[in-house]
A and B are shown apart, each in its own frame.
Chain A
């Protein structure tokens, strides 16, 4: 059986959706590992893969630590990688404060596990090209992240 690759769909990107369960530390990190594998398979530059892996991991861990559940969406086009992460959880009362390095609301248990250094959101911002965050207390948080594949043409 021959399998053909259609050329006309070339422009449409690859979309993958993952769900994350809050508090599930046992499976935490699997989404970002899968995302990393996909990006490598697509032949994305190793340095960009590394940045994307860090962003994905931090974003995933935020859902695991602070929300009940979340959706992680990946979209890859020949120009860019986009992450869309939406969770149902406690939300962030003061985003500006949460963006400060070293600020953390992690519980002692989370710190015991090596999290809660207050680097999560700043790390995501540092490693992405466009970073948007919105949050509603008691409802959840939404992240919109873009990493450009052609770093020379970064806008």
Chain B
């Protein structure tokens, strides 16, 4: 089954089967068989946890190389606001955007501004909303996929407002096509991404047929060249308007909690890190978190600044964004979209997402409930025989996952090393019985014979 596109590839030649990825995977999507890690496609939500822990660099995020730009007549860079947090505090967005142009893009646009618009749109949506609460942000594609796979019944909680990156790409394409009088397909929009999962949200969007973006370049890949490009900028290029150009509502999208803070949402939660998010989602499923309107959820700790393709230390970049917000608040700078304009567009469904998000729940033990029940019983019986220490030496992440793999015929019970002593004892007894049957007298090994003599 190869129906899902993934932004992660395992390099078999580099993989040495060291099991780190297997243990961190939050959806148990990795197995090590014959010493090599492999992915169970339907389970993977592209969070990228495995990339970070692999000691051999065998897990490769698939982002686009810079050469992809040549496919288009006109190219536009749309950097994630997390890019703004990667440099020293004196390097402001204007300079970074100018640097991107210097790198070879025809244009670089500020996504924070669109983020600000979408913040307002979310506020509008929340105001008139009467469905199940809390609503969950869709900014992080891993979260959307986590819900599709592990929490399918929460799918209606995902806010149906499109992401800033998609809206920005859609609008700039339209605008440029008109201005330059060229077809939209000759304009390439590239997201500068802090994580690999944005790549799949482009290649295989969770809800609509096609993304408005054409590719994604990793922050880590362009970091070095971008620094040199910024150094070579003339005085006149960039950093003209400085702080005055930064949308305070949008800049907050780089960090977990930024949106709620800048919008002053009173009834919201900001959650980051997959383990924490899973706890919160479990609680929502139980009907426990009822009095919260909105949840900002990011798979990476501290939000996009914690992405696996960023360069700066997560805490430093988180701090940079916080300081920037504080400065803007202090200076009372609000270079944000006009809320009346946003309301007008909102009425025209400008921000609504196209298409419907469908769940893709994990396959149950069996399609037939009766058989699934029998398999579940067998799984529990097998589990009882296992050591339950989750050593993962068998190549499955936990003893429970191993029991399931055995039931499903994906693994052999003999793969558990803890069952060997028992098995070896039985085998040894069998050998002795066989030898005795032949009538040949067994000569005891010298050492043992000597020991007996000594006694």
Binding site for B on A (CB under 8 A): 1, 3, 5-7, 9-14, 29, 32-33, 36, 38, 40-44, 46-47, 49-50, 53-54, 56-58, 76-78, 114, 123, 149
Chain B residues contacting A78 (CB-CB under 8 Å) are: 368-370, 373
Pick the residue among A6, A14, A57, A149 that contacts B376 (CB under 8 A). Answer: A14
What residues on A are CB-neighbors of B68 within 8 Å?
A: none
Selected from A9, A38, A49, A58, the residue in CB contact (under 8 A) with B374 is: A9
| A-B residue pairs in contact (CB < 8 Å), sample of 18 | A5-B374, A7-B374, A12-B373, A29-B286, A32-B286, A36-B282, A36-B286, A40-B361, A42-B369, A42-B372, A43-B363, A43-B364, A43-B365, A50-B153, A57-B286, A57-B287, A58-B287, A76-B373
- Determine if A54 and B287 form an interchain contact, defined as CB atoms under 8 angstroms apart: yes
Cβ contacts B270-289/A at 8 Å (1 or 0 each):
00000000000011011110
Docked Cα-Cα span, A149 to B370, in Å, equals 12
Contact mask B360-383 → A, CB, 8 Å, 1/0? Answer: 011111111111111111100010
Query: How many residues on the B side are at the interface (Cβ–Cβ under 8 A)?
Result: 34
Complex interface: chain B residues within 8 A of A3 (CB): 378, 382, 406-407, 413
How far, in angstroms, from A19 to B386 measured CA to CA in the complex? 23
Nearest-neighbour CB distance to chain B for A81, whole angstroms, equals: 10
Interface string of B337-369 (1 = CB under 8 A from A): 000000000000000000000010111111111
User: Which of A29, A43, A46, A114 is in CB contact (< 8 Å) with B372?
Assistant: A43
CB-defined contacts of A41 to chain B, threshold 8 Å: 364-365, 372, 376
0 or 1 for each of B396-414: is its CB under 8 Å from A? (1 = yes): 0000000000110000111
Q: Beyond A7-B374, A41-B376, list 13 extra A-B contacts (CB 8 Å).
A: A1-B414, A3-B407, A10-B374, A33-B286, A41-B364, A42-B372, A42-B373, A43-B367, A46-B152, A56-B286, A58-B287, A76-B373, A149-B369
Residues on the B chain within 8 Å of A40, using CB: 361-362, 364
Q: Is the CB of B286 within 8 A of A1?
A: no
Whether B359 lies near A50 (C-beta < 8 A) is no
B234 beta carbon closer than 8 Å to chain A: no
Contact B291 A114 (CB under 8 A): yes
C-alpha gap A6/B375 in the complex (Å): 9
Chief secondary structure at chain B's binding surface: helix
The answer to whether A10 touches B288 (Cβ under 8 A) is no
Q: Which residues of A contact B368 (CB under 8 A)?
A: 78
Contact of A46 among B153, B370, B378 (CB under 8 A): B153
- How many Å lie between the Cα of A42 and that of B369 in the bound state? 6
- Chain A residues with CB under 8 A of B359: 46
Residues of A within 8 A of B285 (CB): 36, 50, 53
CB proximity of B34 to chain A, nearest CB, Å:
18
* A-binding residues in B (CB < 8 A): 152-153, 282-283, 285-288, 291, 359, 361-378, 382, 406-407, 412-414
Chain A residues within an 8 Å CB radius of B367: 43
Given contacts A3-B378, A42-B376, contact A53 B370 (CB under 8 A): no
Q: Which residue of B lies closest to A50 (CB)?
A: B153
Q: How far is the CB of B293 from chain A (nearest CB, A)?
A: 15
- A10: chain B residues at CB < 8 Å are 370-371, 374
- Give the CA-CA distance A58 to B285 in the complex, in Å: 12
B406: chain A residues within 8 A (beta carbon): 3
Q: How many angstroms from the CA of A150 to the CA of B378 in the assembled complex?
A: 25
Residue of B at shortest CB range from A30?
B282
**Distance of A149 from chain B, by nearest CB (Å):** 7
- A33 CB, nearest partner CB in chain B, Å: 5
Nearest Cβ on chain B to A117's Cβ, whole angstroms? 9
Task: Collect the chain B residues with CB atoms within 8 Å of residue A46's CB.
Answer: 152-153, 359, 361
Give the docked Cα–Cα distance between A123 and B377 (Å): 31
Chain B contacts of A11 at CB under 8 A? 370
Sorted nearest first, the 4 A-B pairs with minimum C-beta distance are: A43-B364, A57-B286, A50-B153, A1-B413
A87 to chain B, nearest CB (A): 19
Residues from chain B with a CB closer than 8 A to the CB of A38 are 376
Report yes or no: A1 in contact with B412, Cβ–Cβ below 8 A. yes
Distance in angstroms from B270 CB to nearest chain A CB is: 19
| Neighbour of B366 across the interface among A43, A47, A77, CB < 8 A | A43
Q: Which residues of A contact B288 (CB under 8 A)?
A: 29, 57, 114
Give the complex CA separation of A14 and B287 in angstroms: 25
